Each structure stands twice: as C-alpha cells, then as structure tokens.
Amino acid sequence: MIKVEHLVKTFGTTKAVNDISFEVNEGENMVLLGTSGCGKTTTLKMLNRLIEPDSGKIAINGENILEQPPELLRRSIGYVLQNNGLFPHYTVAENIAIVPNLLKWDKAKTQNRINELLEKLHLTKDHLTAYPNELSGGQQQRIGLARALVADPPVLLMDEPFGALDNVTRSKIHGEFKALDELKRKTIIMVTHDVQEAFELADRIALMDKGKIVQIGSPADLLFNPVNSFVSSFLKEQRLQLEFKTIKLIDIWEHLPDSGKKINTSLLSAQLDVWEALENFKFYSKENLNIINRQNKEVKSTTFDQLMAAFSQYKNQQPHE
C-alpha cells in the first residue's frame, strides 16, 4: 500500500531523516516510535508532502506521490495532529466539513456523513454548533479524528494524536480507537514516543533513532527478538508491562492448567492479552477466570497464581537477548 524507499531529509546540518525505507500493508497500523528529535514527524510529513524530501521515493498504491498535485494528494490522506489543529473560528460542524467542502460535496451528503461520525465517536448534535475552545481536550481530539476521517480516506497519518491528553482520557480513547470500525479498514501510520501506546495500538512498530530505523517488526519481535541493545534498553523500563500486553492468552495456552472447575461466570476470549486478563481479576481469594479458546472450543479456568506461572514458563522458552 505505502512504500517508502531511501528517504532523506536534511535541515541545515541536521540529518533529520537519514535513508529510511519501509512498507506498510493495506489495513495495517504502523507506529513510528522513538525519542524526541529522531525524525518521526519529519518522516510522517513527507508522506503528505508537508515536507518535501531531499531524495528517496514514496509510493501509495504504486503511484509516486511526488508527482501528484500536493493539494489533491492531501485530500485523500487523513491527518491528525497532536494539538488537533482545529480551526478556532469554525464551529465543530464547519471543522468537520472542511474536506467535504474542498471536495465540493453537496450539503446533504456532508450532513449525513457528519451525523454518522458523531455517533461513532460518541459526540452529540449539541456539539456541532460549539466552537473548539468550548470542548474538552478529549472531545477536541475526537473532532480532529472525525475531520480526518470524514472523506473516508484510505490512508490516515497521525502525529502523536493522543499526546496532549491525560492518562485516563488517553486510555479511554485508546479503547475507542481500537474499537472503531472505520479504522479497521484504514492504513494508518501513527507517530508516538510513548512505548505503551505503540504496543497497544500497533500491528508493527518502526523504532527510530537519529534519523534511521533501528528495527521494524511486530511488538513481540521488538520485545523478544531485539536486533541490538538499543532496542532492548529502549523497552527495558516498561518491559514487564509490555510483555503482559504483547503475550496473548492463546500464546500461553499450553502452560495453563487444565482444571475442570468451570463455574458459570462469563468466558474470556483467549485472544486477549495477559494484561487484559489480569484486569479481570477482582482479587478475592480463590478467584478463577474462565477462558475459551475458540479454535478448539476448549475452556480453561485459571487462578491468578496459575496465570502468572504459565506466563513465566512461556517467557523462559523465548530466546534471550
């Protein structure tokens, strides 16, 4: 879907992006992760030509974007910024309608689409006539997302979209983000320097340092097969939590005890990660969680201690750095 080859961008003497290549598949969520100043934003902005590369190639759907008129290109790419970049002089409705107006949609079509998005993003009609400064940060961010999604662009670029939110709001929006069907079909490139966020939302992560990609792969790849000590030390501080979030119950299925105690509580899917399973414990004594493996219709029941034991057995099997 998106193919980037040998991208270079220099500002004065700063090599902001230094020979970067990667591919993103259709419907994939690629996260650019790295410390401040490593070139994430620069890379992202070259994809919609807010920044012109010094050299290198960018193709979307096999077409060289550097040969397309930038305005037209941009109308087919959604863009979400950290500080949302909403127009303060436009109402919410007008903000969302910017791209439809540029595309000269008729009023009814725009209105229908806005209503549809409102519902999906848990906003009400009252919000439409408000100005951005009358909304909370979380609401503003959702409007920013609605604005980027309104024309249903196949590609979505997001630069630290949740960076300005507090932790509680952020994890709530993360949840909504993952659940939003609109996003499942989209090819997304998202920039963040928050490791947790990357692991939570990414299909694949490109870890960057000093204008280069150090490693590109799934969260588990980075966690269990780091290519060098930069990668492992980058993840070290939050390692345990990342592992909880990366390893799914299905991964440790064989290490879970096959106890037959199946109390009639609700069943958890084995597709959940360990972190999500842990969140389901209410922490009273001798509590059990029931997990169903939908592939073989097998149901297992586990206590907290048994889950932790299975988790560490699984980890011991993984290759060590």
Partner 1 sequence: MNEHQQTLWEFMQQQADKLGMQTLQHIGLTFISLFIAVLIGLPLGIYITRKKQFSGFVLGIAGILQTIPSIALLGFMIPVLGIGAKPAIVALLLYALLPIIRNTYTGITGVDAAVKEAAIAMGMNKWQVLFKVELPLAMPVILAGIRTATVINVGVATLASYIAAGGLGEFIFGGISLNNTNMILAGAIPAALLAIIFDFLLSLVQKLNFKKIKGAVRIAPVLLILLSGLYFIPSAYGGKLTAGFTPEFMGRQDGNLGLISKYGLKIHTIVISDAVMYKAAQEKELDVISGYSTDGRLKAYNLVVLDDDKKIFPPYYAAPVVREDALRKFPELEKTLNLLSGTINDSVMTELNYKTDYLHQTPERVAKDFLVAKKLFKPERGGNEGVVRIGSKIFGEQYILVSMYTMLIKGYTNYNVATKTGLGGTKIVFDAMTNDQIDVYPEYTGTGLLAILQAPTKTVTALQVSKDSTYNYVQKEFLKRYQIKWLKPIGFNNAYALMMRQKQANELHIKTISDLKGFLEKK
Ligand X SMILES: Nc1ncnc2c1ncn2[C@@H]1O[C@H](COP(=O)(O)OP(=O)(O)OP(=O)(O)O)[C@@H](O)[C@H]1O
Residues making contact with ligand X (CB under 6 A): 11, 14, 16, 34, 36-42, 193
Q: With contacts defined by CB under 5 A, how many residues of the chain interact with Mg ion?
A: 1
CB of 120 vs Mg ion, minimal distance in Å: 27
> Cα 78 to chain center, whole Å?
14
Phi, psi of 23 (to 5 degrees): -130, 145
309 touches 259 (CB < 8 A):
no
Site residues for partner 1, 183-222, by CB under 8 A, read none
Which residues 218-277 are close enough to bind Mg ion by CB under 5 A? none
Out of Mg ion, partner 1, ligand X, none, which partner does residue 14 contact, by CB within 5 to 8 A per kind? Answer: ligand X
Interaction with Mg ion in 27-86: which residues (CB under 5 A)?
Answer: 41
The 3-class SS string of 147-171 reads HHHCCCCCEEEEECCCCCCCHHHHH
Closer by beta carbon to partner 1, 91 or else 306: 91
Which partner in ligand X, partner 1, Mg ion, none is near 89 (CB below 5 to 8 A by kind)?
partner 1
Beta-bridged to residue 293, according to DSSP, are 298
Beta-bridged to residue 248, according to DSSP, are 273
Closer residue to partner 1 in complex, CB, 68/196? 68
The option from Mg ion, ligand X, partner 1, none interacting with 255 (CB < 5 to 8 A, set by class) reads: none
Asked whether position 50 contacts partner 1 by CB under 8 A, the answer is yes
If the CB atoms of residues 67 and 71 are measured against partner 1, the closer one turns out to be 71
Site for partner 1 in 262-301 (CB under 8 A): none
Shortest distance, CB of residue 224 to ligand X, whole angstroms?
Answer: 25
Cβ atoms of 39 and 22 within 8 Å: the answer is: no
What CA–CA distances, in Å, run from 282 to 219, 263, 266, 289, 303? Answer: 28, 15, 14, 10, 11
